Amino acid sequence: MPSPAEPFRAAEEAALRASTALLTAMGGDRVRYYTAVPANTAPPYVVGGIHEIADDSGGCGRDHTIVATLRWFGTDADQVRRMGDAIIDALFVELPITGHETVLVEMETPEAYRTEPDGSSSGLVGFRYETSAL
- pLDDT tens digit string along 6-47? 999 999 999 999 999 999 999 989 999 999 999 999 999 999
90-107 pLDDT, tens digit each? 999 999 999 999 999 999
What pLDDT does residue 120 have? 86
Measure the CA–CA gap between 71 and 121, rounded to whole angstroms.
11
Terminus-to-terminus CA distance in the chain, angstroms? 9
- Residue with more model confidence, 101 or 59: 101
**Does 44 sit behind a cis peptide bond, omega within 30 degrees of 0 on the bond before it?**
yes
Name, in order, each residue with C-beta under 8 angstroms of 40's C-beta and a sequence gap of 6 or more: none
Angle at the Cα of 52 (from 37 to 10), degrees rounded to 5? 60
What pLDDT does residue 86 have? 98
Q: How many Cβ atoms are within 10 Å of 97's Cβ, its own excluded?
A: 23
What pLDDT does residue 75 have? 93
What pLDDT does residue 118 have? 83
Residue 53 DSSP symbol: E
Which CATH number applies to 5-133: 1.10.1270.20, 3.30.2000.30, 3.40.640.10, 3.40.50.300?
3.30.2000.30
Measure the CA–CA gap between 45 and 83, rounded to whole angstroms.
9
CB 64 within 8 A of CB 53: yes
Position 61 pLDDT exceeds 70:
no
